[in-house]
Structure 1
Amino acid sequence: MSSYVSTLVFLCSVAAVTQSNHLTEPMCYDWGESSNGTVSVLEGEAGWLSCPLFSHPSVYNYTSAQSAGHNLFWYRLPEGHDLEQPITYSSRLSKDRERLWLQPAVAEDSGLYICMLRNKSSCSKIAMRLKVLRHEDLVQDSDCQPPVAAATSSVAIPFQEGHLLDCPDLQDVTKMADSEPNVTWYHVTNNQCFKPPFWDNNRQQKGPGLMIYNMFLMFRGLYVCTVTYLRRGRTLNFTRSIDVIAVHSPSLPKEPSILRPSRNHVFTVRQGMEAHLQCVGLFPYLESSWDIWWTVDGKTLDKLADPRFSKINRQMKDDYGDRTEESVLVIQDFVSEDLRRQYNCSVKNSRGFETRSAQLQEEVSLPSVELGCGLGVTLVLMLLLFVVYHVFWLELLLIYRSWFGSDERHTDDKEYDVYISYARNSEDEQFVLSTLRKVLENDLGYSVCIFDRDSLPGGTITDETLSFVARSRRVLVVVSPGYATQGSQALLELKAGIDGMALSGDLRVILVQFKPVRWQGWVRELRRARVALALVQWQGDKSSELTSRFWKRLRVELPVRRVSSSKELMRLHSQNSTNSQTGLITDTVKTPQKVFNCAA
């Protein structure tokens, strides 16, 4: 009999929610699915569904609907089914005014629920979803707190002020319970869970609520309350959570302010490009609305009707309820007329209002093509100069010396330009006399002193050698495998040149490597002074020409000479020979001592 009655009720309900050809049957208006989202209930806990038709009392009111003869019906579309089924009420599923109670909820209750309000002349319905969650479906931050399926509410408490926390939905179950509900509180913060009793002088449970007498930073976090009550001899419960936020005291100034742009800030824009004007506002905590916006010529963007203008808003910071908000005005394809517009950024809340104008300045565009070409030409010239200097640095240095170099003959009292020191053997001696001496004297115009050629017999070798070195501007040492064995005259000349270079500074020693010599073959004096001495390498036939690198490198180390013609060279050579003979006769008359003459 009961099955027959249920089937009859179902058929009548289906007939009520579908369009009928009978003129007296009203068509039911379908509001679709509720936008409030899915209702979540934990398996084994008490839960309920409130018909969304009554969420707007100005449209639908339960008391007024009953007075007008409307009845509320509930239907269910289980998951995986296509056909709606009427709700069969029982001790676990019951209806109370606009709510459908599940005491407790089970996993099979999940699905789509439809509440229908109708009478003989009108009908409206709306759907909503219910999700019954299992304990293993929930991820908890702490093991000590009970799981929570319902959405978390939020409460802001100012620092050093008091507030009473009430467990959400507690009043809704009070009239359904057979006894006074019992409430248990938990506090979760920084991955730590505090079980009851966790209160002290600043926090205490006051009846079902939790009283915070003095708000501190450590009291913020998630508070979980579990409500336990009796109904028809059965113990039921549900759990809710509250996110407690610490905010600044309301006694502080609450007027909004504009942080950026400053009063003297100028935005740089370019024509044809996208411009961004940034506005940053600070909104102190208030339980009221706030807003930040841009106006162009006194009009908001929605009234400007120009698609080139848009804005991007975002929250930059939240400091204990004080919000820092950013609004960026975006102007696409900026044109010159936009410079003459008035741009204002404004902020407001219930305590105040502030606005500030944005100043714009057009960026002067650099001639990119001309700048790039000029930079390219400059780089090419620099590279070319670097290559020229790297290849022709000797020629450039010689040209510089010929124009700006000073002739040492005018700054010292030296008699000879070059004193040549070499190993006394046939090969080295032939190189010195036939090559070095010839080019230095005849082609380059230097006065050369060679001991074996220019000294007179009968004198003391040591004294004459030291005298020649002292009266010379350069000592040219021809380095070869047979050069400067211990006790030789060449070693004496080398030591005299190095000592003169170190003591007076007006004498320089030049090394000419005639033949390759291993480092171990160098005498000790040469190894010590090699770092400070110039080394010019002879490369055989490649160095024979006067335009070779060898002679250019050697001329850089020798004194500056400006001799441009062969006649001048012959004149100098004749003058040097005459002076040498005159000096020899004069010195012989004055003293019987041996006099040596170095002819140029």
Structure 2
Amino acid sequence: IGWLSNVFFSPSLSKGKLCPLRASIDVLEGEYFFLCYLESMQEHFQEGAYTINWYKDNAGKQELIKETHRIVSQMNFLEFWPVELGDSGHYSNLTIQKWTLNVLERNKSSCFNKNHLTTEIKNAGTGHSLKCSDLSVNENDSITWYKDCKSYENETERELDFETLTVQHSGIYTCKILISHEGKIYQSTNTIKLVVEADAPEAVTLEIVGRHEEIETEIGKEEILNCTGFLGYYMPEDASLYWLINQEFPEKCTGIPENEPSICEEEFKKLQLGNKFYVTRLLQIKKVTDEDMHHNFTCMLQADERTQIKIVKLKKGNTRDLPVHIFTTGMVLAVLFPCVAVAAVFVCVMFRVDLVLFYRNICRRDDTARDGKEYDAFVSCLKDCISPTEEEREFALKILPMILEENFGYKLCIFERDVSPGGAVVDDIHSFIDKSRRLIIILSQNYISDRAIYELESGLHKALVERKTKIILIEYMPISDYSFLPESLSLLPSKRVVKWKKDKSLPVNSRFWKNLRYLMPAKPTKINIKGHYNNLDLGSQGPQPRTKGCDFNEVA
């Protein structure tokens, strides 16, 4: 607060108030406060005329302040019960005095406002007093001191005295005065930031770091006892630190492991951390014996004719080392676990198809329920009806539908078998592909018919653009040159190609049929596994192709 040093008693001395000489005042909202003019200024008034008018500057105009229950003009005082943010401004009366009042907002997260404090800088080792504000001197006013917003040692006096300042006394001190008025309690605070500088080394107490202690150990175990002493802010010339074992000095460590005594004391070391000085010394116990459990290991610190001690004792602990066989087993498991994890990942990758099919069978998973599709797959044979090899035709029209439909319960749509002649072929192909969950394309290097090309391009459009149908490519014979196929076919994932390997692929449980079922939609069914395709009577059971349905021009 910008108070000046001159302070005068007001005419209302009976009320116990002082009138500080000040021009600019900072005060916190919600606190009691007053303005007053000096006693000597009363000479400007005629005797008996003791009515004082107070004014506040409003946009350059002096407006008379009217009294309310909150703002009271009494004698030469203008009191605020309490002051509010809107009270900030310039004040004056008929005297030559003027005041500038700044009402600061209260900090809701702290007991003070950082803009409402004074700073006092003092040196360590000196005495000092912090004084509360002079807003009230009534004897019945309650006064409480706080340091960093915490109650400070039950101090209730107007002055907070320090006989000898130390750096630890630095902090923010707040004095709170409680004032009673018309049955209500108001407060007034004063905050001081005290900074204590350590220009000279502080007087510190010589001490050993840590207290007396007991260390849990085991017979035969190595132990190293550490003793560290704090000397203060300078290194005394006579500082010493040493160990005693039952009041006897231990031997000195030689630094040669094979010649070391069972218990020895290492060299004395001096340390400096910042402006603080320490000394340290270690005591080595090679193998703890039962006799050591009954010894007192005493650390002695001496400096400036002062002595500090620390006693360390050993005791048997409850913890034991792991047995060798348990430790060995743990190490073996730790080594094997990564190998097992890698092997598991390898198995999952290599046999993912078998695992997925097994999962489908166990969970009875069904991807075909309520999807609006009529067929599980539309089969497209990319060759003319008059094929150089009857084997390709037999695979497309007999083997494939027989295994998938009769053995695994899938429903296929084959143009040569299911589409009646005489219709609009383009519309039929488009409609049947729309009704199918998959498009199976049997690749061949034989002559490609117009209808087959349309089937392929229509299916590719739905797979790559509309993303409505997934394509499965069956490579019936090895193909070295794919230039006869549309370029967009190269955009399909290679994992969706299944290769037919003649007799090796004929058994129902062969890798070919597993890979094909893996790419087909999941569908619960009772699998009818028959030993081999050659064991089936194709002439009586297989689907019969139409005689002339394969030629696009003829059907159209």
TM-score, structure 1 length as denominator?
0.45
Q: Which has a greater percent of helix?
A: 1
TM-score norm. by structure 2 comes to: 0.48
